[in-house]
Each structure stands twice: as structure tokens, then as C-alpha cells.
Amino acid sequence: MGGPGCGKSTLANALAESAGVRPVALDALYWGPGWTPVPTEEFVGRLGKELDAEQWIVDGQYPDAITAFADRADCLVWVDPPFAVAWSRLLRRTLRRWIRRERLWGGTRETLWSVIGPRSILWYALKVRASQRQANQELFDQLAHSGVLLLHARGNDVRSLVGRITR
């Protein structure tokens, strides 16, 4: 878990490759066409089907989803690099997707308006940074004695965590 651009997908993909498991991308379960969220019941149902697998690696930061799996996980990683690092990654990724017209979840593509408009992921990242960090800290506090391994990664290179987690 972590905010936009923090490296969640990069870490999940590296862990999944190392473990031979397909990562569960919450964005793919959450977003429908035109950046329209699917209904909560559908989202949680989709996630539930993915969590029926023997092993899973979940990538994302949606409160409904985290509630569904956090206490069932072996390990929960909060990817939390400095804001300047995360935001610059997010900016590069968003511009790359727009320029290359990459197809995203629900068949959606970035547009100039989705890059710079009021619902832009760039603005969203600025707006939710503090509240997501507070929610993540509260979750870690809540799970502190649950037996779930909790890692709060504040560095810039999430790939370096793969060895730590898979040992």
C-alpha cells in the first residue's frame, strides 16, 4: 500500500515474479471505462475471488480492499518514499501514458484533461498524501500485534525490498 507513484506496482510485480504468483492490481478491479469506479460491492466481490487463491500479492491503496485483506496477509508493505520522489515518478508515468496513448483499466486512456484537470491523479496525489499516510499509520498501529509482518519502506528503491520480504 502507499500513495500514487510510491512504487506499489513495481514492488508487487517484482515480488510476484520472485514468488511465481500473479499480482492482484486493485486499479484493474476498481476502474471501469472513463475512469468510472465500479460499485463497491462489485469491487469487493472481484477482490474476494482473487483472494481465494492460495497465494496472492495485492497492489493498491483502497480502504475497502485493505480492510478485506490486511488481517489475512502474511506481510503488509507500506511504500512511502519522500513526496518529491513519488510525485516526480507519478508525473513521468502519467505523461508517458498520455503521450503513448497507453490503454489502462476499463479501456481508458489518459487525456490532456485527465492529466491536468481537476480529477487528475497528479492533483489527487497532492490532496490525499497526508490523509493516506495517517490512515496507513492507523492500520499499522491496529495490526501491530496481529502476527502480520509490517514493513514501512521509506526509501526510494522498492526493488531492494524483494530480498528482504522473500527470505
Q: Mind listing the pLDDT tens digit for each residue in 51-80?
A: 999 999 999 988 888 877 887 889 899 999
Alpha carbons 64 and 43: distance in angstroms, whole number: 9
Query: Where are the chain's structural domains?
Result: 8-166
Structure confidence at residue 72 (pLDDT): 84
Q: Sign of dihedral through CA atoms 141, 159, 67, 52? A: negative
Give the side-chain half-sphere CA count within 13 A for 149: 9
Alpha carbons 158 and 36: distance in angstroms, whole number: 29
For the stretch 109-158, pLDDT in tens is 998 888 898 889 999 999 999 999 999 999 999 999 999 999 999 877 77
Is residue 7 within 8 Å of residue 92, measured between CB atoms?
A: no
pTM: 0.87
> Residue 82's closest CA among 138, 10, 153?
153
State yes or no: pLDDT of 17 exceeds 70: yes
